[in-house]
Amino acid sequence: MTEWTIMGAGAVGCVLAGLLSRRGEPVSLLLSERHRGHLHPSLELITLSGQHELVHTRPLFAEQAAAVTTLLVTTKAYQVIGALSALRSLPAATPIILLHNGMGLLDEVLAHFPHNPVLAGVSSHGALKEGDWLVRHTGKGETWLGPANEAARACAGLVEPLARALGHAGWSEDILGLQHRKLAINAVINPLTASHDIRNGQLLEPRFAAVLEQLSEEVHRVMARLGQQESLARFRRRLRSVIELTATNYSSMHQDLHHGRRTEIDQITGYLLGRAGELPVPVCRQLYQDIRRRQGR
């Protein structure tokens, strides 16, 4: 049995820690420097049924990376490289599973860790941080892992304990395609809800119909350029389904902007803009500039 070390004690990381721990999986949290010298309390998880459960995890810091056997990276996208670079003693055999939002970091991770198995992943579990070490599981979702390098192919067995803990986990040889599918949804919902200070479900109000139509068309156009074969109509159906399923949720970008934190706009909308080429994407560009302006960078 491997110990799952989670880097990124935010909402998603803590929910995954709770779900793994509930199934008897050993879990440690790789904490940042700001947690050093503080008491590491039990994590409190509010389950989908509303129950409060205490989750016990082992605290680790960067200099203890030699003890990490499986690493789940759930930090903000812009924190990934810096956080991983601090793990100088991470064993070359330790799988690194990237479960952050956004894209565009993989080549740099592979350059830093050329010998480690590196897995890319996507997860649609909903999570909300309600306080210090208090997180709510707001929605059950799917989790997919796939190989980002050849060494990762030997790690397909990791999906089995994940599936038991999370309710679903699968292996995909087309993980890049799955990442693009998730990014496309995020590139519509996240910047729109953050810019207008609304919950996800409010995007279905008539006042957003026109911008939702144009933005979804722009995002789909870029995705098609990247090789996605999903039709525009099907993408819009999938987008509407996600909005409906998460109607009462605030997007992560909304929460970051609301609390004065840096957002992942560069790794979501910025990723699209960097790959749009000559395609016209005025709404994407306007939202990108708006979020960047609001976060002061």
Q: Side-chain half-sphere of 34: how many Cα atoms within 13 Å?
A: 3
Question: Which pTM does this prediction carry?
Answer: 0.94
pLDDT attached to residue 39: 63
Q: Which CATH superfamily is domain 177-294 in?
A: N-(1-d-carboxylethyl)-l-norvaline Dehydrogenase; domain 2 (1.10.1040.10)
CA–CA gap between residue 187 and residue 64 (Å, rounded):
36
- What is the residue-level pLDDT of the chain in tens, covering all 297 positions? 789 999 998 999 999 999 999 999 999 999 988 877 776 778 999 999 999 999 999 999 999 999 999 999 999 999 999 999 999 999 999 999 999 999 999 999 999 999 999 999 999 999 988 988 999 999 899 999 999 999 999 999 999 999 999 999 999 999 999 999 999 999 999 999 999 999 999 999 999 999 999 999 999 999 999 999 999 999 999 999 999 999 998 999 999 999 999 999 999 999 999 999 999 999 999 999 999 999 886
Residues of the chain with CATH 3.40.50.720: 4-173
Query: Burial letters for 84-120: b for 16+ Cβ neighbours within 10 Å, e otherwise?
Result: bebbeebeeebbbbbbbbbbebbeebeeebeebbbbb
Query: Burial letters for 254-283: b for 16+ Cβ neighbours within 10 Å, e otherwise?
Result: bbbbeeeeebbbbbbbbbbbeebeeeebeb
Dihedral sign, Cα of residue 280, residue 281, residue 283, residue 289: negative
Active-site residues, by number, are: 182
Per the CB < 8 A criterion, the answer to whether 251 and 196 are in contact is no
Per the CB < 8 A criterion, the answer to whether 124 and 141 are in contact is yes
C-alpha to C-alpha distances, 59 to 5, 34, 137, nearest whole angstrom? 9, 13, 21
Query: Burial letters for 216-236: b for 16+ Cβ neighbours within 10 Å, e otherwise?
Result: bebbbbbbeeeeeebeeeebb
pLDDT attached to residue 242: 95
CA–CA gap between residue 270 and residue 111 (Å, rounded):
22
Using DSSP's 3-state secondary structure scheme, residue 264 falls into: coil
Per the CB < 8 A criterion, the answer to whether 211 and 189 are in contact is no
Tokens of 43: 């994590």
What HEC string does 153-204 produce? Answer: HHHHHHHHHHHHHHCCCEECCCHHHHHHHHHHHHHHHHHHHHHHCCCHHHHH
Residues of the chain with CATH 1.10.1040.10: 177-294
Q: Which CATH superfamily is domain 4-173 in?
A: NAD(P)-binding Rossmann-like Domain (3.40.50.720)
The length of the chain, given as a count of residues:
297
- Tokens 């350059």 belong to residue: 111
CA–CA gap between residue 117 and residue 32 (Å, rounded):
23
Per the CB < 8 A criterion, the answer to whether 164 and 22 are in contact is no
